[in-house]
Amino acid sequence: MTSDVGAGDRGRDVSGAPEVALVMLGEGDVVTGWGSGARSLLGYEAAEAVGRPLRELLFAEPSADHAAEPSGAALLLRHRDGHPVPAEVTVDDADPGTPQLRRVLVAKPLGTGLTDPHLLERAIDQFPIAVGVHDADLRFVCVSKELRRLLALPEDVQGRRLSEMHPSDFYRDVDNRMARVVRSGRALERSVRHTPPGETSARSWIVWFSPLRDAHGRVTGVVAAMLDDTTQYWARTWLDMLSEAGTRVGTSLDVAKTAQELTEVIVPKFADLATVDLLDAVLTGSELTPAQSSQQITLRRVAQRAEPADTPFGVQLDEVHSYPDFSPVARCLSLGRGVLSRGDEPGFTRWIAQSPERTDSYVNYGLNTMIAVPLRARGTLLGVLMCVRSRPEHFAEGDLRVAGELAARAALSLDNARRYTRERNTAVLLQRSLLPSRPPELAAVDVASRYLPYLSGDAEIGVGGDWYDVIPLSGGRVALAVGDVVGHGVHASATMARLRGAVRTLADVDLPPDELLTHLDDIVTQLSGEADEEALAESGDGETGATCLYTVYDPVTRRYTIASAGHPPPIVASPGAAPEILVVPTGPPLGVGGVPFESTEVELPPDSTLVLYTDGLIESRENNPEDGLAQLREAMTEPRAVLEDLCDSLLDAMLTTPPSDDVALLVARTHALDPDQVATWDVPVDPAIVGEMRARVSRCLSGWGLDELAFTTELIVSELVTNAIRYGSAPIRLRLILDQPRRRAGKLDGTLICEVYDAGETAPHVRRAHAFDEGGRGLMLVAALSRRWGSRPVAGGKTIWCEQPVELSRSADSEPSPQLAC
């Protein structure tokens, strides 16, 4: 190139073609002219560039070859802001007639002349995502190789619509979305899932639809770009499912419910069918032992779920079944890890063929893959989780990790439920063992009882502190007691046991009901002071409080004595009379301390029915205690019914919903001893009368048909009467009582009771007499000859008593007919 530029042109802004940079060089390659193209390319104004050496405009020195022959060379020029600018440089000598202009440099930016018509196709082919360019009629203009591969498009795709090549709802929906973009001119982004042609598994894509505009802004087409998001989709899905499992599995401490929650999380998100089989020890809360290797592994089906819901199962819920050693389940248990099995594997088909039910379930269901994962927690095997798919997407190796994570999380919840079941069963068993296993058979009363535990928030049996007891007392009397300890849990149950034991101990001392409650109140106060604060905080109980109703019935006098410590009163139904709520002076609950208790006494007709209970029977969210008590009285419509049936009818009438508090119910029917079964003598304070007393006792026993007891009874009477005369005070009374016999195995069993009353207050005690002592052996003799003996304080004195068993070999139809000869 030549340029005819004079000296006057130095510093001028020489115009050049806008697509190239034109630079005039003078002596020493100093810039003498600077075109507008150079200003656009390198950013320098003419005033800044003119006068600079050319080398200052180069980013790097050219190679030796380029320095010798720079024309047509690709050089890096320096932009005004310092970054390199690649350019194709051509240098021509100027006309020798212009000494100020030695050479002309033309720089053309690399890439400006890329006019290859296939450049766009090559660009989108090299793009890492699938791209398709469509005209305004949604016909293909250009398509990438990745899109051809994913959608199985033919070679002659130009000019055709996507829905024409794949006539399905999915591709018609894609065309509709692109048409919406053409009409609105707004871009659109969607996440879609579809099974591409020739594949069996659905894939996930993120699809962008963007409008194409011409130089005037008119929409002339649409570009569709697709990014395969399948891996990320499944990662998000599994993460969401694991998160859901963390919140939905283990919401209760019930083993079966926890297992069912696991199957509900799995189906249908992860599998089409899921089952949970567990060892029986998990359900019962028993201790688990390491699994032993055997040919058969036996488990129980606890939970199962399938889509659709009417899918048949080869094993039914709660059914016990075995897995042979070649089955996938047995292999996963022996290996200690998950196993992926396909429907056509020999071991799998052999296992399926063993059971027609399993064949119907799996083969007809269209099973293609199955995952079996052991359920292990804290190093102990609990059972196995099975996941089955019939959908086109088969399980893959990566799904084993997901199933294993689900199984691990669920196993911890199952083991927690098992441990809770074990602890709860232990607590329930402990409480049951602390209640009477069966009421004693007594002449004074017939009894029936019920204990109903409360139901916790999870509808599980709770442990409470309600109790009842039937305690035989001396003289044929009987104590009937019920009580209620504040709170629930093991602490309440343990407190109940201590109180019941204390009541029995105090009853053995034969204290009157009011005095017994006073002593019991002292015990509860002491327990409250000794209670461990940490144990109370764990149990949720803030105090060791309790209520108690203690009553004593005497079948000889038919007197019924009652004392209450904050407990609801008993109800009595006498023959021919309406049920009546007894008026009882109610003292404060046990543990308050410092307040005396009172007792009341009523006379009951024979065959009266007594109902003793705890507040859980009459008090609920719907009823206050007063209304509940009235309702209980009205429920005694048939007080003469069999006691067991009466218990059931009362519970049915009062507990229409599961109880929120435990309930103790004690029903008794009183009996009176026949006058001919009791013999009483006043004893003068004269040692000589002892022989006469022995004779009277002998005649009485003969009349009762108990001649074989005459010798031992005479000895006992002799010792007791002599002690009363010698150490006691007048008046003195001797009484024999023959308990109503009971038929047992063809025999009539009963008790012969001997009592001696005197006005003295000194209680007797047994001591060991020395070899040469003249006395001190009487009570030892009484203790040796009787089944049990003791003393009890009574108003104005004391009573010494002893009991002998009576066993008469008589026919079952005969009864003793006493003929007193006193």
* Residue, of 659 and 765, whose pLDDT is higher: 659
Least confident of 286-300, 673-687, 744-758: 286-300
- The DSSP 8-state label assigned to residue 475 in this structure reads G
Do 763 and 616 share a domain, yes or no? no
Backbone angles phi, psi at 421, to 5 degrees: -60, -40
pLDDT at 99 (0 to 100): 66
pLDDT at 63 (0 to 100): 59
In Å, how far are 102, 135, 310, 439, 487 from 530, measured between CA atoms?
115, 90, 60, 33, 17
Please, which pLDDT band fits residue 741 given cuts at 50, 70 and 90? low
Do 619 and 738 share a domain, yes or no? no
- Is 399 domain-assigned? yes
| Cα atoms in the 13 Å half-sphere on the side-chain side of 560 | 26
Distance in angstroms (rounded) separating the CA atoms of residues 730 and 740: 31
Least confident of 355-359, 513-517, 564-568: 355-359
Do 563 and 665 share a domain, yes or no? yes
Is residue 370 within 8 A of residue 306, CB to CB? The reply is no
Q: Of 158-162, 609-613, 719-723, which has the strongest mean pLDDT?
A: 609-613
Q: What's the rounded mean pLDDT across residues 26-46?
A: 88
Residue in the block written with tokens 């290797």: 293
- Is 822 domain-assigned? no
- Is 434 domain-assigned? no
pLDDT at 352 (0 to 100): 79
**751 exposure class (CB count in 10 Å sphere: 0-12, 13-18, 19+):** buried
Chain centroid to Cα 717, Å, comes to 66
- Is 798 domain-assigned? yes
Parent domain of 450:
443-486+496-670
Chain centroid to Cα 24, Å, comes to 89
Strand partners, 82: none
Do 407 and 456 share a domain, yes or no? no
Helices and strands, counts by H and E, the chain: 22, 33
The total of other beta-carbon atoms located within 10 Å of residue 181's CB is 23
Q: What's the rounded mean pLDDT across residues 72-97?
A: 80
Tokens (6 digits) for 494: 């343990």
pLDDT at 292 (0 to 100): 46
Please, which pLDDT band fits residue 531 given cuts at 50, 70 and 90? low
| DSSP calls for 200-257 | SS-EEEEEEEEEEE-TTS-EEEEEEEEEE-HHHHHHHHHHHHHHHHHHHTTSSS-HHH
CATH assignment of the domain containing 355: 3.30.450.40
Neighbouring residues of 210: CB distance < 8 A, sequence distance ≥ 6: 181, 187, 222, 223, 225
CATH assignment of the domain containing 802: 3.30.565.10
Distance in angstroms (rounded) separating the CA atoms of residues 78 and 85: 6
- Is 817 domain-assigned? no
CATH assignment of the domain containing 447: 3.60.40.10
**48 exposure class (CB count in 10 Å sphere: 0-12, 13-18, 19+):** middle
Which long-range CB contacts under 8 A does 36-44 form with residues at least 24 apart? 38/107, 39/13, 41/77, 41/85, 41/87, 41/107, 41/109, 42/77, 42/78, 42/79, 42/80, 42/85, 43/79, 43/80, 43/81, 44/80
**Total count of residues recorded for the chain:** 822
Asked if the model's pLDDT at residue 820 lies above 50, the reply is: no
Domain boundary among 84, 109, 134: 109
- Is 796 domain-assigned? yes
Chain centroid to Cα 117, Å, comes to 69
Least confident of 44-48, 68-72, 151-155, 554-558: 68-72
pLDDT at 699 (0 to 100): 94
Average pLDDT, the chain: 83
pLDDT at 461 (0 to 100): 65
Closest alpha carbon to 481 in 540, 567, 604, 371: 567
Do 224 and 322 share a domain, yes or no? no
Sign of CA dihedral 451, 457, 460, 463: negative
Distance in angstroms (rounded) separating the CA atoms of residues 509 and 473: 9
E strands in 555-598: 559-565, 571-573, 580-581, 586-587
> What is the identity of the amino acid at 692?
E
Distance in angstroms (rounded) separating the CA atoms of residues 525 and 511: 19
Asked if the model's pLDDT at residue 90 lies above 50, the reply is: yes
| Cα atoms in the 13 Å half-sphere on the side-chain side of 418 | 25
Q: What's the rounded mean pLDDT across residues 358-378?
A: 82
Tokens (6 digits) for 806: 């009576």
For the chain, the 3-state helix, strand and coil shares in percent, each to the nearest 5, are 35, 30, 35
- % residues pLDDT > 70 (the chain): 86
Is residue 662 within 8 A of residue 616, CB to CB? The reply is yes
Helix (H) or strand (E) holding 685: none
> By three-state DSSP, how is residue 674 classified?
coil
Distance in angstroms (rounded) separating the CA atoms of residues 332 and 746: 62
pLDDT digits (tens, 9 = 90+) for 246-292: 888 988 889 999 999 999 999 998 999 999 999 998 988 888 766 54
Pairing between strand 140-143 and 73-78?
unpaired
Is residue 752 within 8 A of residue 735, CB to CB? The reply is no
Distance in angstroms (rounded) separating the CA atoms of residues 548 and 563: 9
Closest alpha carbon to 385 in 451, 305, 489, 499: 305
Asked if the model's pLDDT at residue 808 lies above 80, the reply is: no
Residue 109: asked if its preceding bond is cis (omega within 30°), the reply is no
Asked if the model's pLDDT at residue 101 lies above 80, the reply is: no
Neighbouring residues of 407: CB distance < 8 A, sequence distance ≥ 6: 338, 373, 374, 375, 376, 385
pLDDT at 809 (0 to 100): 52
pLDDT at 100 (0 to 100): 67
Distance in angstroms (rounded) separating the CA atoms of residues 374 and 411: 9
Do 737 and 656 share a domain, yes or no? no
Do 569 and 601 share a domain, yes or no? yes
Radius of gyration in angstroms for the set of CA atoms belonging to the chain, rounded to a whole number:
52
Distance in angstroms (rounded) separating the CA atoms of residues 550 and 459: 32
pLDDT digits (tens, 9 = 90+) for 758-767: 998 777 766 5
Distance in angstroms (rounded) separating the CA atoms of residues 410 and 526: 46
> What is the identity of the amino acid at 571?
I
Helix (H) or strand (E) holding 64: helix 64-68
pTM: 0.65
pLDDT at 490 (0 to 100): 78
Do 96 and 204 share a domain, yes or no? no
Distance in angstroms (rounded) separating the CA atoms of residues 262 and 251: 11
Domain boundary among 109, 129, 147: 109
Tokens (6 digits) for 121: 């196709």
Do 474 and 419 share a domain, yes or no? no
pLDDT at 821 (0 to 100): 45
Closest alpha carbon to 367 in 335, 382, 398, 345: 345
Q: Of 106-115, 402-411, 758-767, which has the strongest mean pLDDT?
A: 402-411
Number of domain units in the chain:
5
- Is 566 domain-assigned? yes
CATH assignment of the domain containing 217: 3.30.450.20
Domain boundary among 76, 109, 142: 109
- Is 430 domain-assigned? no
Q: What's the rounded mean pLDDT across residues 330-336?
A: 89
pLDDT at 118 (0 to 100): 62
Is residue 89 within 8 A of residue 74, CB to CB? The reply is yes
pLDDT digits (tens, 9 = 90+) for 444-473: 999 999 998 877 655 566 678 899 999 999
Sign of CA dihedral 303, 307, 310, 311: negative
Do 473 and 582 share a domain, yes or no? yes
> By three-state DSSP, how is residue 720 classified?
helix
Least confident of 45-49, 101-105, 676-680: 101-105
pLDDT digits (tens, 9 = 90+) for 793-805: 888 899 999 999 9
Helix (H) or strand (E) holding 592: none
Do 22 and 138 share a domain, yes or no? no
Do 128 and 165 share a domain, yes or no? yes
pLDDT at 348 (0 to 100): 79
pLDDT digits (tens, 9 = 90+) for 537-549: 554 444 567 999 9
Q: What's the rounded mean pLDDT across residues 111-138?
A: 73
